[in-house]
Amino acid sequence: MDRWFSDPEYLLYGITLALFLPCVLFGVIASVRVNTVFGKYSRIQSSSGISAQGYVRNFLLASGVTDIKFAAVRGSLTDNFNPTNNTISLSDSVRDSSSIGAIGVACHEAGHAIQHANKYFFSSLRLKLVPIVNFASKLMWPIYIIGFIFGLASPYTAIGRGFLIAGLVVMGLSMLFALVTLPTEFNASKRAHDYLKTCMSKEEAAGVKKVLRAAAMTYVASFMLSSLQFLRILAILMMGRRRD
């Protein structure tokens, strides 16, 4: 039992086990909260009466970005910006709504479009990481399934270490992507809020900020979980090396 406190790899593994459920709970709370906050502010209409898409067009124009296309996407909170074709897709619950929640979500996506136009470092880096992370993610589940079914994911054999190292690389890439996503998302929200403060009342802008802050916490939760998985695999590998 003493080794759980004296050996760094066992201590690290114990910490990842202890933090797993709190991190999962934080992720669930963040997901529930973003829907709750958006639901609340989707019932509060902007005094201007301008639709979310109208605000986006004005925001882009004020930022000197004029080559953005628009598309519709089904669902709720499925809004996104695609940098490969310069398209902002707005969902049914956002596009034509003039609610505080819809305007905040739509202008956040406009923030991403402006980042792309201005070659914002973190958004450019995230775009470059997308194909690498997608490829690595496709390999992740086969690696885990094969490793655990055949008992190969053991830190005490050369083959097992190979599987664990592969898993560590995949989780490391996921963690890096989640880390780069944080400043990208926070910056897009800041751009949106800074613009909306100039054309909304103080109370309306405060509501937008709450919606954007709630959405940002889901990205924090994603980073926490990917970091925890990375550290857990690292600790298992370190255990195997100590035994050798």
> Which residues have a catalytic role annotated?
109
Distance CA 164, CA 144 (A): 9
Give the dihedral sign, CA 207/51/72/113: negative
- SS3 sequence, the chain? CCHHHHCHHHHHHHHHHHHHHHHHHHHHHHHHHHHHHHHHHCCCECCCCCCHHHHHHHHHHHCCCCCCEEEEECCCCCCEEECCCCEEEEECCCCCCCEHHHHHHHHHHHHHHHHHHCCCHHHHHHHHHHHHHHHHHHHHHHHHHHHHHCCCCCCCCHHHHHHHHHHHHHHHHHHHHHHHHHHHHHHHHHHHHHHHCCCCCHHHHHHHHHHHHHHHHHHHHHHHHHHHHHHHHHHHHHHHHHHC
